[in-house]
């Protein structure tokens, strides 16, 4: 692994040789090896400037850190903090009803959990964060997940499993009181509605007029149902043969989808409009919510994981083979908050932008929603919760590498809006050169032709940039003539990657609504009641489906109104999850271990609250909602609307959206603040009582 001739590398090689010769490549030598790799990778990435740096070093740092985190830190949490016991009955066995509660093979549960938690965040967040340089994003993605994100997912999963698979809000009621629990339930249900609509809109944009993607994703539904019947009814417990069938059928669907996309008649059949895709997603989400979990949701998520992990692993191998250079600087001038891709300072907005690549509040809903109802053994929580989040972080690392290994000029040409670089290739080239990045018009035009697109200018959002970056890496390994194929394949991959959050998210929303409604009408809170399940599903799908559909038909309405607060809402949800987890540990006589969630909790609560306040009160109209509303009001009075606001009527709607976002963010901040203050008060009482008991 030592790619530079240094005395430090020579010492590592000598120790490895001695250990191999003595047969002592186990025990304390393992942490020394991986600790050395972490140190060396950090040195090369953060300090070494002698030559161009290979992206392989980012992979080495990530894999070494993941190994240490999973082998040692997650084992410490499992064995010392919670003392997980495979003999403890899980809710899947206690309440086994063949509908929501179903004991499931740990690998199938891992597939479901990973598919459910891995949405748009790890794909586009790191790509957007790359504008500040490769180093800040690399450090937060890797060390943030080891110490915060994976810890949250595992700890919430264990707590929910030991609390009879209760939701995060119900756990909050037990640990903080009924009123705080009700606030948490209301907060997470509204946040989930926003998250679902945003993720669904991303899928709509990715599948729009994409017959390859539509056909392949449609085929995963019957394939998954066959796998479900096979694994749970025809031959219960058999995973190998259904998995082989699913894998081969998925590959066949991918190949057939490509053929259909190129066929002049069949392609029309599967070229759906945005409205049609939105309706399909609404129907699919409702179906996945009410059908038995073993029939559609779990096997389809498991099936999707084949493509997700397979693509990521192949990309990792491709990086090791191609050894692409990191072309983005370690830190760019845009850490001052005035970047062209997005506005805001490194603290707090880099951590919010990366989101799910390091920690995500949505994951806590999955860890207290569908997953604890499927766990066969309590000890599976470590593999499913901690390793599942490490895998998502690895996806984020791949996305970051795809962004930082392309020429910076190309990166900014793709990700910068027209308001920053203009509408023509010439204006883009001149503007990007002023930022210190060389680019010429031929580079932009040649790349657009290579991927069979009219232009790559201002393809904002992160998804097109990710597809281009990965396609360029794949083309170096498999041939540059395949760059267009890989580009369109990654677009399909992104849609499939995100779609799996729709089914699990809708089912989780159903659980949360039942928890809320059950406080008013007990029968509506019964998970075993098909009537209450249908009511909860209808309400949940109607809410996020309304925001999705209106966002599709109205470019300034629906979920697009809440798009700017998507990242902050998700991180505020993580704040509440970590507060609740810390309270559980303290309440259950684990004060000395509370640091595992308390440290990331304080960081996430402070950083996200600071970000929310900046989004509300910042004086820059490109960041603060109030400032933006004032800016548009003044523009209306002067009759000089900005280019992206076509009429006074639209300006009024955007101003209303700004004030609405201020209200929603303020409400979320009040809820998080109340939960935090209630928790701190609770901690103080518990600690004081125990001190008094000891003195007696």
Instruction: For residues 622 and 431, give the distance between their C-alpha atoms in angstroms, rounded to a whole number.
Output: 19
pLDDT of residue 628: 95
Residue 696 pLDDT grade (very low, low, confident, very high; cuts 50, 70, 90): low
pLDDT 10s digits, 174-213: 999 999 999 999 999 999 999 999 889 888 877 877 888 8
First-to-final CA distance of the chain = 59
pLDDT 10s digits, 427-455: 999 999 999 999 999 999 999 999 888 88
Contact at 8 Å (CB) between 181 and 172? Answer: yes
- With helix as H, strand as E and coil as C, how does 364-415 read? HHHHCCCHHHCECCCCHHHHHHHHHHHHHHHHHHHHHHHHHCCCHHHHHHHH
Instruction: For residues 452 and 458, give the distance between their C-alpha atoms in angstroms, rounded to a whole number.
Output: 16
Q: How many helices (H) and strands (E) does the chain have?
A: 31, 0
Residue 690 pLDDT grade (very low, low, confident, very high; cuts 50, 70, 90): confident
Residue 23 pLDDT grade (very low, low, confident, very high; cuts 50, 70, 90): very low
pLDDT of residue 629: 96
- Cα torsion angle, 445, 449, 451, 456, sign: positive
Residue 162 pLDDT grade (very low, low, confident, very high; cuts 50, 70, 90): very high
Quick one: which of 98, 113, 78, 579 has its CA closest to 372? 113
Per DSSP, 495 falls in state H
pLDDT of 22 above 50: no
pLDDT of 28 above 80: no
Instruction: For residues 626 and 613, give the distance between their C-alpha atoms in angstroms, rounded to a whole number.
Output: 11
pLDDT of 17 above 60: no
Ramachandran class of 337: left when φ > 0, alpha when ψ lies in -120 to 50, beta otherwise: left
Q: Give me the helices (H) in 479-591, please.
A: 483-517, 530-553, 566-587
Quick one: which of 109, 104, 111, 110 has its CA closest to 237? 104
**Arithmetic mean of pLDDT, 56-78:** 97
pLDDT 10s digits, 255-311: 898 889 888 888 888 989 989 999 999 999 999 999 999 999 889 899 888 888 988
Contact at 8 Å (CB) between 202 and 120? Answer: yes
Spell out the residues 6+ positions from residue 654 whose beta carbon is closer than 8 angstroms to its own. Answer: 556, 632, 645
pLDDT 10s digits, 563-583: 889 899 999 999 999 999 999
Please state which of the ranges 99-113, 213-227, 489-503 shows the lowest mean pLDDT. Answer: 489-503
Instruction: For residues 618 and 624, give the distance between their C-alpha atoms in angstroms, rounded to a whole number.
Output: 4
Q: Give me the helices (H) in 167-296, please.
A: 168-176, 178-207, 211-229, 240-262, 266-269, 274-290
Radius of gyration of the chain (CA): 25
Cis geometry, peptide bond prior to residue 591 (ω within 30 degrees of 0): no
Instruction: Tell me the sheet residues that pair with 54.
Output: 325
Which is more confidently placed, 23 or 289? 289
Q: For residue 613, count CB atoms less than 10 angstroms from its CB and return exposed for 0-12, middle for 13-18, buried for 19 or more.
A: middle
Quick one: which of 406, 408, 439, 444 has its CA closest to 424? 444
Spell out the residues 6+ positions from residue 695 whose beta carbon is closer than 8 angstroms to its own. Answer: none
**Arithmetic mean of pLDDT, 65-79:** 97
Which is more confidently placed, 459 or 397? 397
Instruction: For residues 171 and 164, give the distance between their C-alpha atoms in angstroms, rounded to a whole number.
Output: 10
- With helix as H, strand as E and coil as C, how does 90-139 read? CHHHHCCCCCCCCCECHHHHHHHHHHHHCCCHHHHHHHHHHHHCHHHHHH
**Quick one: how far is CA 176 from the chain centroid?**
28
Residue 50 pLDDT grade (very low, low, confident, very high; cuts 50, 70, 90): low
**Arithmetic mean of pLDDT, 320-328:** 93
pTM: 0.91
- Best mean pLDDT range from 124-138, 190-204, 213-227: 124-138
Per DSSP, 81 falls in state I
pLDDT of 5 above 60: no
576-594 per-residue burial string, b: 16 or more CB within 10 A, e: under 16: bbbbbbbbbbbbeeebebb
Residue 18 pLDDT grade (very low, low, confident, very high; cuts 50, 70, 90): low
Instruction: For residues 145 and 81, give the distance between their C-alpha atoms in angstroms, rounded to a whole number.
Output: 19
pLDDT of residue 560: 76
CA 481-486-488 angle, to 5 degrees, is 120
**Arithmetic mean of pLDDT, 223-237:** 92
Contact at 8 Å (CB) between 537 and 288? Answer: no
3-state secondary structure of 623: coil
Spell out the residues 6+ positions from residue 259 whose beta carbon is closer than 8 angstroms to its own. Answer: 266
Residue 7 pLDDT grade (very low, low, confident, very high; cuts 50, 70, 90): low
């Amino acid at each position: 692994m030592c790619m530079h001739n240094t005395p430090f590398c020579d010492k590592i090689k000598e120790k490895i040789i001695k250990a191999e010769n003595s047969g002592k490549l186990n025990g304390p030598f393992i942490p020394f090896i991986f600790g050395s790799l972490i140190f060396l990778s950090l040195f090369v990435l953060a300090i070494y400037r002698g030559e161009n740096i290979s992206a392989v070093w980012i992979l080495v740092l990530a894999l070494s850190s993941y190994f240490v985190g999973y082998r040692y830190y997650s084992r410490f949490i499992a064995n010392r903090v919670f003392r997980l016991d495979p003999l403890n009955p899980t809710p899947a066995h206690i309440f086994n009803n063949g509908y929501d509660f179903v004991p499931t093979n740990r690998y199938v549960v891992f597939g479901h959990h990973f598919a459910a938690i891995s949405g748009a965040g790890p794909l586009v967040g790191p790509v957007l964060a790359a504008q500040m340089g490769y180093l800040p994003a690399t450090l937060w993605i890797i060390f943030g997940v080891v110490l915060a994100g994976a810890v949250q997912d595992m700890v919430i999963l264990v707590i929910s499993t030991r609390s009879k698979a209760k939701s995060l809000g119900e756990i909050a009621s037990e640990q903080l009181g009924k009123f705080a629990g009700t606030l948490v339930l209301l907060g997470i249900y509204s946040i989930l509605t926003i998250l679902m609509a945003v993720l669904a809109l991303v899928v709509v944009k990715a599948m729009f007029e994409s017959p390859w993607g539509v056909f392949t994703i449609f085929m995963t539904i019957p394939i998954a149902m066959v796998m479900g019947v096979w694994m749970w009814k025809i031959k219960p417990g058999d995973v190998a043969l259904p998995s082989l069938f699913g894998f081969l059928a998925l590959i066949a669907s991918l190949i057939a989808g490509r053929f259909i996309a190129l066929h002049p008649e069949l392609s029309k059949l599967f070229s759906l409009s945005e409205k049609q895709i939105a309706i399909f997603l609404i129907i699919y989400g409702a179906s996945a919510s009410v059908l038995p979990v073993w029939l559609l949701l779990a096997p389809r998520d498991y099936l999707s994981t084949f493509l997700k992990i397979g693509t990521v692993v192949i990309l990792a191998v491709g990086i090791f083979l191609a050894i692409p250079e990191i072309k983005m600087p370690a830190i760019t001038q845009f850490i001052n908050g005035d970047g062209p891709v997005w506005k805001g300072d490194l603290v707090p907005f880099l951590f919010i932008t990366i989101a799910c690549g390091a920690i995500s509040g949505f994951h806590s809903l999955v860890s207290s929603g569908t997953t604890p109802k499927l766990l066969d053994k309590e000890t599976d929580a470590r593999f499913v919760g901690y390793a599942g989040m490490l895998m998502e972080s690895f996806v984020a690392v791949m996305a970051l590498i795809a962004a930082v290994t392309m020429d910076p000029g190309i990166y900014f040409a793709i990700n910068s809006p027209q308001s920053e670089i203009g509408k023509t290739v010439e204006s883009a080239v001149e503007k990007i050169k002023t930022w210190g990045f060389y680019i010429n018009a031929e580079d932009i035009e040649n790349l657009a032709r290579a991927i069979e697109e009219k232009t790559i200018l201002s393809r904002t959002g992160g998804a097109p940039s990710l597809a281009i970056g990965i396609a360029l890496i794949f083309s170096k390994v498999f041939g540059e003539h395949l760059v267009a194929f890989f580009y369109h394949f990654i677009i399909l991959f992104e849609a499939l990657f995100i779609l799996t959050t729709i089914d699990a998210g809708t089912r989780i929303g159903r659980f949360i609504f039942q928890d809320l409604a059950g406080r008013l009408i007990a029968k509506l809170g019964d998970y075993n009641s098909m009537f209450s399940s249908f009511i909860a599903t209808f309400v949940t799908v109607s809410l996020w489906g309304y925001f999705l559909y209106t966002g599709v038909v109205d470019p300034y309405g629906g979920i697009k109104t809440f798009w700017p607060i998507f990242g902050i809402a998700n991180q505020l949800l993580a704040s509440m999850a970590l507060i609740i987890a810390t309270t559980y540990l303290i309440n259950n006589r684990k004060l000395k271990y509370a640091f595992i969630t308390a440290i990331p909790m304080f960081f996430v609560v402070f950083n996200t609250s600071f970000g929310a306040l900046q989004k509300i009160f910042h004086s820059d109209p490109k960041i603060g909602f109030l400032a933006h509303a004032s800016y548009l009001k003044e523009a209306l009075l002067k009759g000089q609307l900005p280019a992206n606001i076509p009429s006074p009527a639209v300006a009024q709607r955007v101003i209303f959206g700004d004030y609405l976002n201020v209200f929603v963010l303020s409400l979320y901040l009040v809820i998080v603040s109340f939960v935090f203050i209630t928790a701190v008060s609770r901690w103080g009482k518990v600690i004081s009582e125990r001190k008094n008991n000891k003195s007696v």
